Amino acid sequence: MRTIQGALYARVSSDQQAQAQTIQSQLTDLRARVEADGVALSAENEFIDEGYSGSTLVRPDLERLRDVVVAGVLDRLYVHSPDRLARKYAYQVVLVDELQRAGVEVIFLNHELGRSPEDDLLLQVQGMIAEYERAKILERSRRGKRHKAQTGAVNVLSAAPYGYHYVTLAEGGGQARYEVCEEQAQIVRQVFTWVGRQRLSIGEVCRRLRKQGTPTRTGKTWWDRTSVWGMLKNPAYKGQAGFGKTRAGALQPRLRAQRGRPLQPRRARSSYDVPATDWLMIPVPAIVGEDLFAVVQTQLEENRRRARTGRRGARYLLQGLLVCSCCGYAYYGKAISPSARKGHPRDYAYYRCIGSDAYRFGGQRVCFNTQVRTDRLEEAVWQQVCQLLEDPQRLGQEYERRLQAAQASPGEAETARVERQISKLRQGIARLIDGYTEGYIDKSEFEPRIRRFKERLAALENQAEQLREHSLLQAQLHLIIGRLEEFSAKVKAGLGQLEWHGRRELIRTLVKRVEIDREQVNVVFRIEDSMGSSENSRFLQHCRGRDLPDALQHRLE
């Protein structure tokens, strides 16, 4: 008999649990159960998500597990409890149904699944209780922190800003507080004085701090503009630390994968700024006076109105899609400063690699890729998008490839054959039951035969369902291919009339990313590659504003 191929899935929610290796208890119990059942378990079939929330289905190893399940190589999956699979009842139902449809038996260690209606009811109740428990924990935590903030408790705040030392509850005898670090506080007062009294820009403040050799909290001598800006905007320095500056909300979609960050976030949520009027103020020791703090805020607003960064009128069509092929950092829009124009106004800016900014990396740039003119790069990418939309044959080839790459199906004849086998098998089950009822066969012979019949029937029904789904997919793809010509005619008539916002939405819909190399720009579309090893079309564009041409190519991904 074929050996049962098993897998296990384990998960912990927080980074603290992952660091404390609390997931090992789950793995120990799961491996013991697998060994007791005599199921084959390989190392690659152990799926572990450490530090990922159960409120989202987008988890690295869960995604890998679902891909393996679709491949049809697993027979049984072991999970410690339903809330390890998902914290939402609806997600549990989706995952269990998906696994069972693929023929994978799900085993939860804390109870049996599908043995009786009571077992299914218990699973549903546990799923709803887990979701309710998570919601109550979040609500109690939110209300508790807000109540403490209203009473002036400092321990609800995050880490103390530069210039302060955070005294914990244990260190402070049961009361947390901020203590002023006088050496750092002198630097804070100096920065506020430079901006508020001498009306310096943030860039000049950073240059003076670096010239003095003043170290940051981490020991660096290179100060970032964002750090200084955050210092000048923090109300804690005037004696009122703000609580509730941000709130958690729905996860914001990403245009492309970010360098150094996983494709699947650990938490399925994003932070959103809260208006200052909704903050709760907690008294802390002041470093600067309220009058000086107010003067600094006025100066920052004046600097913004005067647009010292030279961002007048610059709109970046490809912002969020550009990535450097050399270092992996993103390209961002950077306008030309008025002093660099020398009396020659320009209506374009430059896209610049983040890795080429030395001030972001302690004074040493990590990338030497050159910048690209915005107007020429945007026009070149737009032309590539237009060529893709104006070529219905190319899109048709892609959908034809998907149609051929789908799971092979002999067609209606195979579907009819499977249906006949299902009908015969049901008749055989009925005859077997009649024979057992009439006493022609005994129970010891009846039970294994009826079990084999049911297993065969389930496999055939699953095969028939796949054939029906494949036929539906074929019909949908044929419908899409038939409408490509009509779609292309409409696109050709409207592309030339699209305004800036329309172009941006269309580009973000079709383009996955734009890779900028030293000698060429590569446009990667969201459609899967149908060209295989065929040669990509190329044409030359002077995107950098100098004699060296860039080859702009495109590919489908």
Q: Please report the pLDDT score of residue 7 as a whole number.
A: 92
Q: Which residues contact 539 (CB under 8 A, 6 or more apart)?
A: 551, 552
Provide the pairing of β-strand 76-79 with 105-108: parallel
Cβ–Cβ under 8 Å, residues 371 and 353: yes
Q: Please report the pLDDT score of residue 109 as a whole number.
A: 85
Q: Please report the pLDDT score of residue 186 as a whole number.
A: 92
Confidence (pTM): 0.53
CA distance 483 to 491: 12
Q: What is the pLDDT along the chain (557 residues), one digit of tens a residue?
A: 567 889 999 998 765 555 556 788 889 999 999 988 888 888 889 999 888 888 778 788 888 898 888 888 888 999 988 888 887 777 888 888 888 888 888 888 876 655 667 666 776 777 677 777 777 777 788 888 888 888 888 888 877 899 998 888 888 788 888 999 999 999 999 999 999 988 888 888 998 998 888 888 888 878 888 889 999 999 999 999 888 888 877 777 667 667 766 666 666 677 888 888 888 898 999 999 999 999 999 988 887 776 544 444 447 888 888 999 888 888 988 876 655 555 556 677 889 999 898 878 877 888 999 888 888 898 889 888 888 777 656 666 666 665 565 544 455 667 777 777 888 888 877 777 777 777 777 777 777 888 888 888 888 887 777 777 776 666 655 555 555 556 566 666 677 777 888 888 888 877 888 999 888 888 888 764 443 333 333 333 344 443 333 455 554 44
Q: Please report the pLDDT score of residue 312 as a whole number.
A: 46
pLDDT tens-digit map of 135-153: 777 778 888 888 888 888 8
* Long-range pairs, 347-352, Cβ under 8 A, ≥24: 347/313, 347/375, 348/373, 348/374, 348/375, 348/376, 349/314, 349/316, 349/373, 349/374, 350/374, 351/316, 351/318, 351/322, 351/377, 351/516
Q: Please report the pLDDT score of residue 1 as a whole number.
A: 56
Dihedral class, residue 151 (left if φ above 0, else alpha if ψ from -120 to 50, else beta): alpha
Per-residue burial over 95-134, b = 16 or more CB atoms within 10 Å of its CB, e = otherwise: bbeebeebebebbbeeeebeeeeeeeebbeebbeebbeeb
- Quick one: how far is CA 30 from the chain centroid? 29
Instruction: Show the CA angle centred on residue 236, arms to residues 235 and 238, nearest 5°.
Output: 70
Q: Please report the pLDDT score of residue 199 as a whole number.
A: 86
CA distance 125 to 135: 15
CA distance 36 to 283: 60
Q: Please report the pLDDT score of residue 435 as a whole number.
A: 75
pLDDT tens-digit map of 221-248: 788 888 899 999 999 999 998 888 888 7
The amino acid present at 333, given as its one-letter code, is G
